[in-house]
Amino acid sequence: MKRRGDLLDISALKVVFYTYRGVIKALNGVELWMNRGERLGVVGETGCGKSVTAKSVMRLIEEPGKILSGRLLFEDKDLLQIQESDLRQIRGSEISMIFQEPNSSLNPVMSVGFQIAEVLAEKNKTKIKKQYPAVAEMLELVGLDAERVMTMYPHELSGGMAQRVMIAMGLAPKPKLLIADEPTSALDVTIQAQILELLDQLVREMGNAVLMISHDMGVVAEFCDKIMVMYAGNSVEYATTEKLFKNPRHPYTKGLLQAVPRIGRIEELKAIKGTVPDLVSPPPGCRFHKRCPHMTAVCQKEHPSFIQVEDDHYVACYLFGNEGGGGH
């Protein structure tokens, strides 16, 4: 299969979770790719598999979860095939992640300065103390008083400060790819704007690629070059931000955009009818078919392939001459 992105290329990724209710088919053949320095937003409803996709890239899926199959290329390496020892050289240095809840991601019994220095020491193979000047510089870059914050513990930080610390930790090793999993969801609106502006400024200066996980269409419209829309464990549409907002193709994407309030629009917001399927026993064929106004007989039987409809625009839908076979 031809490579589609020179930094990250995920194809046919399937992940399940074994629970007392049954096997949750969390990812059902996800397709995603990005180039160096690019910003890709991944959007969709809660439970659609956004965070599972991000954790799969970091190989952080643990019991009761399991990556069943797929290809996960990072530069020239398939992350699903390499040894854990080799993965440690990539995780945290070449690929970093900012998690959704900053306070639960920081070690409560270690100072902020020590935790960031530990990341740098691991990458540079030096003693932790030697990294403190670089840590102070990074904390200043994210707008914190380094002298004061380095000695603080996570419980002493406000939500905004904790997220700035996580950004400093994520960017300190100068990763090629930064994964930001809903980095502002736990913050109030004014702090959200400050954090996004800070992240935008820093990655622009450093040239990192960013995989932004979000349920907020406004955030990805502002921050990302391209957007991948997910529904119930599947990639359903992938396009440049401009094309996705101007000419959405998939019925689910259209439904999402119609549900977003806009300044100057006075008509009633439209909700997508029905509910998200239970992933223990998802419907056959396209997982969106029970909620789709364009459903046909084939939608109920075969899952559509992810096909190109124009330059930088892909969709998984039978409305576009789809052959099927993109998952089950």
Distance, in Å, from the CA atom of 243 to the CA atom of 241, rounded to the nearest integer, reads 6
The whole-number pLDDT of residue 215 equals 87
Distance, in Å, from the CA atom of 127 to the CA atom of 325, rounded to the nearest integer, reads 51
N- to C-terminal Cα separation, the chain: 20
Distance, in Å, from the CA atom of 69 to the CA atom of 59, rounded to the nearest integer, reads 13
Distance, in Å, from the CA atom of 279 to the CA atom of 231, rounded to the nearest integer, reads 11
The whole-number pLDDT of residue 323 equals 61
H or E element in which residue 103 lies: helix 102-105
pLDDT in tens, the chain (328 residues): 678 889 999 999 999 999 999 999 999 999 999 999 999 999 998 889 999 999 999 999 999 999 999 999 999 899 999 988 888 888 888 999 998 787 788 999 999 999 999 989 988 889 999 999 999 999 999 999 999 999 999 999 998 899 899 999 999 999 999 999 988 877 788 888 888 899 999 999 999 999 999 988 888 999 999 999 999 999 999 999 999 999 999 999 999 998 777 777 677 778 888 889 999 999 999 999 999 999 999 999 999 999 999 999 999 999 987 665 544 4
The whole-number pLDDT of residue 1 equals 64
The whole-number pLDDT of residue 72 equals 95
Amino acid at 146: A
Strand ranges (E), 35-184: 39-43, 65-74, 77-78, 95-98, 177-181
The whole-number pLDDT of residue 322 equals 65
Strand ranges (E), 107-233: 177-181, 209-213, 226-231
- For each of the domains in the chain, give its residue range(s) and CATH number, in order of start: 8-86+215-320 (3.40.50.300)
- Strands 95-98 and 177-181, bridge-based pairing: parallel
The whole-number pLDDT of residue 247 equals 95
Q: How much is the pTM?
A: 0.91
